[in-house]
Amino acid sequence: MATEIETLRVLKILGDIYPSFHLSSSAIEVYVQMLSDIPGAVLEQAALDHISRSTFFPAIAELRQAAFNILEAANPIPTDYEAWAEVQAEIRRVGHCGQPKLANPLAEQVVQQLGWRYLCLSENPVADRAHFVQAYQAMAERHRHSTRRLQVVAEFIATLKAGIQPQLTGGEGEKA
């Protein structure tokens, strides 16, 4: 994950490239905080990618998007049809009585949802493929969203799921 020094180095590079744009010290703090979950080398490449295609200083969201595009390009999620082909190969290999061994964890989750035995014994493979593809695409999109989510937001969601009601912190205008 990017250290403060690595993030400041990237911001300096961006400041040198876009000299008319100036960040306040509080904005710099926000950039450092919001980019801290991205590996330093990836963040630097994301900044260079942004520089190569934009004439404007990047927003935090643009740097995050570029970084996650780089990470996903290095470790792509298999397409829905690649995942379906893997399932079909396992159906032929082990049949309805065996246990499938799928390398793709998203395909594994979809197979669990649809039912291994059902997929193996179904007489309507066209509909099965359509259902699988639809479920797989939704699962892949959910995976992308959770992967790109800020750590602090993920922790907040976990708190809500645990049934803990978070308390708002007091502001300056709060009365005792």
Q: pLDDT of 25-40, one tens digit each?
A: 999 999 999 999 999 9
Whether 75 has a pLDDT exceeding 90, the answer reads yes
- For residues 15 and 23, the answer to whether their CB atoms sit within 8 Å is yes
Question: How many C-beta atoms lie closer than 10 Å to residue 129's C-beta?
Answer: 16
Strand, helix or coil for residue 101 = coil
pLDDT digits (tens, 9 = 90+) for 113-154: 999 999 999 999 999 999 999 999 999 999 999 999 998 899
Residue type, 47: A
Is the pLDDT confidence value at 155 over 80?
yes
Q: What is the mean pLDDT of the chain?
A: 94
